[in-house]
Amino acid sequence: MKHIKNDKFLFIDDDGQEKTFLRGKYFEFVCLLITDFFEKKIIENEFYSYFISLLNNLEDYEGVDYINHQIPYHWALSIIQNKETTDSYTPEELEKLLELYSKFEEQNDLTSFIIVNTLPS
């Protein structure tokens, strides 16, 4: 399986705030959705390679924003279908998705995949 080259990506957002995108954790959650939510195997298809390339070749805020514009569910479903896809889910699926995300946040001590970097006072 291809890997993310650096778990964290530092960037400056459009408000001039320094932030860190936890791309390794983001990728881990997308993979978790594929295996635990959709109950599919992770297949290294063309879309999988495209997604890895997006994560590994971030240059600035726009790249992070592009990835975060879609929810992890979208990326997982697109990898499964090996194409950019339109995603939708039932209220029951949304509840299951939110439970999985909440558990992932708790296990990884996360509140977001993007962290605001603050200077020590």
With a cut of 90, say whether residue 5 has pLDDT above it. Answer: no
Query: Tens digits of per-residue pLDDT, 6-37?
Result: 899 999 998 999 999 999 999 999 999 999 99
The structural domains of the chain, with segments of one domain joined by +, span: 9-116
Neighbour count for residue 51 (Cβ, 10 Å)? 19
Convert the pLDDT of each residue in 47-75 to its tens digit: 999 999 999 999 999 999 999 999 999 99
pLDDT digits (tens, 9 = 90+) for 68-94: 999 999 999 999 999 988 878 889 999
